[in-house]
Amino acid sequence: MSTTIRMSRAGTKKRPYYRIVVTNSRSPRDSKFIERIGTYNPLLANEDPKRVTIDTERAQHWLKIGVQLSDRVHLFFNKAGLVKTKPAFKPVRGSKKNKGGDAAPAAAAA
């Protein structure tokens, strides 16, 4: 069974709250999980220590077994010092690039 550490959504509409869980990689996002090892509340300030909570002892146990990390959880673990590698992606917040690609500048020139 391939396992992964990822987030499971909780909370209500427009009030997200995530649980960091160990689950089967083939199961749906909010379905059964093996163990809950942390939480993530994106509504709290970045400096708030309760924004991301991780049970480091259990996380290290699962990392020793060899579970895969989702990209966002990999960032959290890297920030907490549990993982030394860089994540496979670079998070990008809303960029100011042209959303239409190269078609809009060509149309403007014509």
Task: Show the tokens assigned to 29.
Answer: 């996002």
Q: Summarize the confidence of residues 18-33 as an average pLDDT.
A: 90
Domain 3-90 class?
alpha beta
Q: What is the pTM of this model?
A: 0.76
pLDDT of the residue at 82: 92
Task: Show the tokens assigned to 103.
Answer: 């078609």
pLDDT of the residue at 100: 58
- Of 20, 47, 52, the closest CA to residue 36 belongs to 20
Q: Are residues 96 and 74 in contact, defined by beta-carbon separation less than 8 angstroms?
A: no
